[in-house]
Protein backbone atom coordinates (compact mmCIF):
# COMPACT_ATOMS: atom_id res chain seq x y z
CA UNK A 1 0.00 0.00 0.00
CA UNK A 2 2.78 2.46 0.91
CA UNK A 3 4.58 1.62 -2.32
CA UNK A 4 1.44 2.40 -4.34
CA UNK A 5 1.02 5.70 -2.48
CA UNK A 6 4.61 6.67 -3.21
CA UNK A 7 4.26 5.82 -6.91
CA UNK A 8 1.03 7.80 -7.19
CA UNK A 9 2.59 10.81 -5.46
CA UNK A 10 5.54 10.71 -7.87
CA UNK A 11 3.21 10.42 -10.85
CA UNK A 12 1.11 13.31 -9.59
CA UNK A 13 4.21 15.50 -9.48
CA UNK A 14 4.88 14.67 -13.13
CA UNK A 15 1.24 15.33 -13.98
CA UNK A 16 1.51 18.80 -12.40
CA UNK A 17 4.50 19.56 -14.61
CA UNK A 18 2.53 18.55 -17.71
CA UNK A 19 -0.42 20.64 -16.53
CA UNK A 20 1.92 23.63 -16.19
CA UNK A 21 3.01 23.16 -19.80
CA UNK A 22 -0.60 23.08 -20.99
CA UNK A 23 -1.36 26.18 -18.91
CA UNK A 24 1.62 28.12 -20.29
CA UNK A 25 0.74 27.14 -23.85
CA UNK A 26 -2.89 28.24 -23.47
CA UNK A 27 -1.84 31.63 -22.12
CA UNK A 28 0.80 32.05 -24.81
CA UNK A 29 -1.43 31.20 -27.75
CA UNK A 30 -4.43 33.21 -26.53
CA UNK A 31 -2.17 36.21 -25.95
CA UNK A 32 -0.75 35.77 -29.45
CA UNK A 33 -4.24 35.93 -30.96
CA UNK A 34 -5.00 39.08 -28.96
CA UNK A 35 -1.78 40.74 -30.11
CA UNK A 36 -2.38 39.92 -33.76
CA UNK A 37 -5.93 41.23 -33.61
CA UNK A 38 -4.80 44.36 -31.77
CA UNK A 39 -2.27 45.06 -34.53
CA UNK A 40 -5.10 45.36 -37.07
CA UNK A 41 -7.12 47.57 -34.73
CA UNK A 42 -4.08 49.79 -34.17
CA UNK A 43 -3.56 49.96 -37.92
CA UNK A 44 -7.12 51.19 -38.38
CA UNK A 45 -6.44 54.06 -35.98
CA UNK A 46 -3.49 55.22 -38.07
CA UNK A 47 -5.25 55.46 -41.44
CA UNK A 48 -6.35 58.92 -42.59
CA UNK A 49 -9.84 60.00 -41.56
CA UNK A 50 -12.47 58.73 -43.97
CA UNK A 51 -10.43 55.73 -45.13
CA UNK A 52 -11.36 53.34 -42.32
CA UNK A 53 -13.84 51.40 -44.47
CA UNK A 54 -11.24 50.87 -47.16
CA UNK A 55 -8.76 49.65 -44.54
CA UNK A 56 -11.18 47.05 -43.17
CA UNK A 57 -12.27 46.00 -46.66
CA UNK A 58 -8.64 45.07 -47.27
CA UNK A 59 -7.81 43.54 -43.86
CA UNK A 60 -11.13 42.16 -42.59
CA UNK A 61 -10.58 38.57 -43.73
CA UNK A 62 -7.12 38.50 -42.17
CA UNK A 63 -8.39 39.96 -38.90
CA UNK A 64 -11.25 37.46 -38.81
CA UNK A 65 -8.73 34.63 -38.89
CA UNK A 66 -7.27 35.82 -35.57
CA UNK A 67 -10.61 36.70 -33.99
CA UNK A 68 -12.57 33.59 -34.96
CA UNK A 69 -11.11 31.00 -37.33
CA UNK A 70 -7.68 30.30 -35.78
CA UNK A 71 -8.98 30.44 -32.17
CA UNK A 72 -11.75 27.97 -33.01
CA UNK A 73 -9.30 25.47 -34.48
CA UNK A 74 -6.85 25.90 -31.60
CA UNK A 75 -9.39 25.73 -28.77
CA UNK A 76 -11.18 22.70 -30.15
CA UNK A 77 -7.89 20.86 -30.71
CA UNK A 78 -6.49 21.83 -27.34
CA UNK A 79 -9.67 20.87 -25.51
CA UNK A 80 -9.61 17.42 -27.10
CA UNK A 81 -5.89 17.09 -26.29
CA UNK A 82 -6.45 17.90 -22.61
CA UNK A 83 -9.34 15.44 -22.49
CA UNK A 84 -7.12 12.73 -24.01
CA UNK A 85 -4.46 13.60 -21.43
CA UNK A 86 -7.07 13.11 -18.69
CA UNK A 87 -8.08 9.74 -20.12
CA UNK A 88 -4.48 8.56 -20.22
CA UNK A 89 -3.78 9.59 -16.62
CA UNK A 90 -6.84 7.75 -15.36
CA UNK A 91 -5.90 4.68 -17.41
CA UNK A 92 -2.37 4.79 -15.94
CA UNK A 93 -3.86 3.75 -12.61
CA UNK A 94 -5.57 0.71 -14.15
CA UNK A 95 -2.79 -1.77 -13.43
CA UNK A 96 -3.73 -5.25 -12.25
CA UNK A 97 -2.08 -6.56 -9.09
CA UNK A 98 -1.67 -9.89 -7.37
CA UNK A 99 -5.29 -9.80 -6.24
CA UNK A 100 -6.80 -9.79 -9.73
CA UNK A 101 -6.11 -11.23 -13.16
CA UNK A 102 -8.48 -8.82 -14.89
CA UNK A 103 -6.98 -6.15 -17.11
CA UNK A 104 -8.49 -2.91 -18.38
CA UNK A 105 -9.28 -4.50 -21.75
CA UNK A 106 -11.50 -7.06 -19.98
CA UNK A 107 -13.91 -4.30 -18.95
CA UNK A 108 -16.73 -3.23 -21.24
CA UNK A 109 -16.76 0.29 -22.56
CA UNK A 110 -13.98 2.64 -23.54
CA UNK A 111 -12.13 5.72 -22.43
CA UNK A 112 -12.88 7.30 -19.09
CA UNK A 113 -15.99 5.20 -18.44
CA UNK A 114 -14.05 1.96 -18.88
CA UNK A 115 -11.15 3.14 -16.71
CA UNK A 116 -13.36 4.48 -13.93
CA UNK A 117 -15.28 1.19 -13.84
CA UNK A 118 -12.02 -0.77 -13.59
CA UNK A 119 -10.74 1.38 -10.75
CA UNK A 120 -13.98 1.12 -8.78
CA UNK A 121 -15.10 -2.45 -9.48
CA UNK A 122 -11.77 -4.27 -9.92
CA UNK A 123 -9.19 -2.32 -7.90
CA UNK A 124 -11.83 -1.19 -5.39
CA UNK A 125 -10.60 2.40 -5.50
CA UNK A 126 -12.88 5.03 -4.05
CA UNK A 127 -13.39 6.80 -7.36
CA UNK A 128 -14.37 10.48 -6.84
CA UNK A 129 -17.70 10.39 -8.68
CA UNK A 130 -19.24 12.84 -6.20
CA UNK A 131 -16.84 15.73 -6.78
CA UNK A 132 -17.81 18.90 -8.64
CA UNK A 133 -14.80 18.36 -10.93
CA UNK A 134 -16.05 14.95 -12.06
CA UNK A 135 -19.52 16.38 -12.72
CA UNK A 136 -17.87 19.14 -14.77
CA UNK A 137 -15.86 16.56 -16.74
CA UNK A 138 -19.00 14.50 -17.43
CA UNK A 139 -20.65 17.57 -18.98
CA UNK A 140 -17.51 18.47 -20.92
CA UNK A 141 -17.46 14.94 -22.33
CA UNK A 142 -20.59 15.76 -24.35
CA UNK A 143 -18.80 18.74 -25.90
CA UNK A 144 -15.70 16.65 -26.62
CA UNK A 145 -17.70 13.92 -28.36
CA UNK A 146 -19.58 16.46 -30.46
CA UNK A 147 -16.35 18.16 -31.56
CA UNK A 148 -14.67 14.85 -32.39
CA UNK A 149 -17.59 13.22 -34.21
CA UNK A 150 -19.40 16.12 -35.91
CA UNK A 151 -16.77 18.87 -35.83
CA UNK A 152 -18.86 20.61 -33.17
CA UNK A 153 -22.16 20.71 -35.10
CA UNK A 154 -24.66 20.24 -32.30
CA UNK A 155 -27.69 19.06 -34.28
CA UNK A 156 -25.70 16.32 -36.05
CA UNK A 157 -24.60 14.54 -32.88
CA UNK A 158 -26.53 11.44 -31.76
CA UNK A 159 -27.82 13.06 -28.55
CA UNK A 160 -27.95 16.82 -29.18
CA UNK A 161 -29.95 17.42 -26.00
CA UNK A 162 -26.97 16.40 -23.83
CA UNK A 163 -24.74 18.84 -25.72
CA UNK A 164 -27.31 21.62 -25.40
CA UNK A 165 -27.50 20.93 -21.66
CA UNK A 166 -23.71 21.08 -21.30
CA UNK A 167 -23.55 24.36 -23.23
CA UNK A 168 -26.19 25.82 -20.94
CA UNK A 169 -24.56 24.68 -17.70
CA UNK A 170 -20.84 25.19 -18.41
CA UNK A 171 -19.07 28.54 -18.45
CA UNK A 172 -17.23 29.99 -21.45
CA UNK A 173 -19.04 27.98 -24.14
CA UNK A 174 -21.95 28.79 -26.43
CA UNK A 175 -23.56 27.72 -29.69
CA UNK A 176 -22.87 30.03 -32.60
CA UNK A 177 -25.40 31.20 -35.19
CA UNK A 178 -24.58 28.24 -37.43
CA UNK A 179 -25.23 25.69 -34.70
CA UNK A 180 -21.61 24.88 -33.84
CA UNK A 181 -19.99 24.72 -30.41
CA UNK A 182 -18.01 27.89 -29.77
CA UNK A 183 -15.41 27.76 -27.00
CA UNK A 184 -14.49 31.13 -25.55
CA UNK A 185 -10.94 32.19 -24.71
CA UNK A 186 -11.28 31.16 -21.04
CA UNK A 187 -12.70 27.70 -21.66
CA UNK A 188 -9.56 25.59 -22.15
CA UNK A 189 -7.89 27.04 -19.06
CA UNK A 190 -11.05 26.48 -17.01
CA UNK A 191 -11.26 22.88 -18.23
CA UNK A 192 -7.58 22.33 -17.51
CA UNK A 193 -7.90 23.54 -13.90
CA UNK A 194 -10.85 21.21 -13.33
CA UNK A 195 -8.87 18.30 -14.79
CA UNK A 196 -5.91 19.10 -12.54
CA UNK A 197 -8.08 19.30 -9.43
CA UNK A 198 -9.77 16.02 -10.32
CA UNK A 199 -6.50 14.17 -10.94
CA UNK A 200 -5.09 15.41 -7.63
CA UNK A 201 -8.18 14.08 -5.89
CA UNK A 202 -7.97 10.76 -7.72
CA UNK A 203 -4.24 10.16 -7.22
CA UNK A 204 -4.40 11.00 -3.52
CA UNK A 205 -7.01 8.32 -2.78
Please report the pLDDT score of residue 4 as a whole number. Answer: 64
Q: For residue range 105-127, what is the model confidence (pLDDT) as tens digits?
A: 899 988 999 999 999 989 888 89
Compute CA distances 38 → 33, 41, 101, whole Å: 8, 5, 59
Mapping DSSP onto H, E and C, the string for 140-179 reads HHHHHHHHHHHCCEHHHCCCHHHHHHHHHHCCCEEECCCC
Q: Is the pLDDT of residue 79 over 80?
A: yes
The residue-averaged pLDDT of 158-181 equals 97
- Alpha helices (H) along the chain: 2-46, 52-64, 70-91, 111-117, 132-150, 160-169, 187-203
Q: Model pTM? A: 0.91
The residue-averaged pLDDT of 61-86 equals 96
List the domain boundaries for the chain: 2-94+128-203
Spatial CA neighbour of 107 closest among 117, 97, 99 = 117
Amino acid sequence: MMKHKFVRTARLSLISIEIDSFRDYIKYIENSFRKELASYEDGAKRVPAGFEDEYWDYHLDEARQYSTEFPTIMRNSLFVSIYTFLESKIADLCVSDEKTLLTLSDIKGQGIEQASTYLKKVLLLDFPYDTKEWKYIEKAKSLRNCIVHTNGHVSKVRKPESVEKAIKELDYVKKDKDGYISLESEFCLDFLENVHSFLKELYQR
